[in-house]
Amino acid sequence: MKVNGKEYRTVWLEGSTVKLIDQHKLPHAFEVATCRTHRDTAEAIRTMLVRGAGAIGASAGYAMAQAVLEAPEAAFASFLEQAASLIRATRPTAHDLFYAVEGVLQAIRHAKDPAQARQQAVRRAEQLADENANAGEAIGRVGAALLRDGVRVMTHCNAGWLAFVDWGSALAPIYHAHRQGRALSVYVNETRPRSQGAKLTAWELAQEGVAHTVIADTAAGSLFRHGQVDCVIVGADRIAANGDVVNKIGTYTLAVLAKHHGVPFYVAAPRSTFDVTLDDGSKIPIEERSPEEVTWVSGLTAQGRMERVRITPEGSAAKNPAFDMTPAELVASFITEGGVLPPSRDAIRAFVSAKRLPADSIVHHPA
């Protein structure tokens, strides 16, 4: 995707250094952060300097490759075991992270020596990043077919190219439809408490020239009630075998609203986000983040300074679950790089195992 006319990926590798778009600085400044060690990259994931399931996965793959490059030959295996544990602990919910760490470890499992392992680790990490970018592009092509001219889409959090290596998941169909000349507009939920919608999704859509309106999360119900939403598209951090979806907190609310008002609720996600080892969404761990994300906000002052201010009384407690679970029955369809599929066990297992989906299992709910 382009920033001020220049093409970027969200995360990439230069030698042994990981480069990341610093999402803490957006939308007020565009900067690229440098992570020289696997610990630096793990910290970037933990602190959400990089976030979004696909981008987390690619960053984790690169972090694991960095660890292989850094590992001393005398303690090669133990160093990698510790590094993998560190990376896995950064964000417990997103399946792409675990998928990438395991992918790099699998790639070096039969290496004849550390030198070969280093080559294979870097190669696999680059492949994982490319797979994520390619999946995002394919999701965009598949999902664009569901968006008619004039459609009004609601989205939540940020599941665009900043959340992937490129293209994204939920925003990719919007980008494809826009580039095909279709007129569409997007309602961008601000997504408290970290405001990824207001800060990141709105910034992305502005870069692409897509018409959009930022709304308070609590305004969504009123828009549904007045018939101003044609479909909802969100991303996902992990999808269980039965089709239950864990995504940014507030997703469940939108799914209930969409179901009540007869509006299609789509979940866009690549194969790497599906976790068929978990029978249903109740088994997916929900990350609990610092209460300070709720009690404090940061932003740009009229004087051009970034400042952080408290918005609650000092004595008030706060709870901050980062994700919620949306049951499969509220999902109209999954938009994947392999096609549009229903939230059923059979369709999900066929997709994850890369088998061809039977034609009658693919469903479309055009907006």
Catalytic residues: 237
- Buried-state track 15-47, b at ≥16 Cβ within 10 A, e below 16: ebebbbbebbebbeeeeebebebbbbbbebbee
- Whether residue 234 contacts residue 155, with contact meaning beta carbons closer than 8 Å, is answered with yes
| 33 in Cβ contact with 20 (< 8 Å) | yes
Alpha-carbon distance 154 to 152, whole Å? Answer: 7
Sheet architecture: strand order including 238-240: 274-275, 238-240, 245-248, 323-326
**What strands lie across the sheet with 152-155, from one edge to the other?**
211-215, 185-189, 152-155, 231-234, 265-268, 333-336, 339-341
CA distances for 34 relative to 15, 31, 144, 150, angstroms: 12, 10, 35, 41
Question: Residue 43: helix, strand or coil by DSSP?
Answer: helix
- In this structure, what are the phi and psi dihedrals at residue 274, rounded to the nearest 5 degrees? -80, 130
Task: Look at the block and give the residue holding tokens 């059923």.
Answer: 344
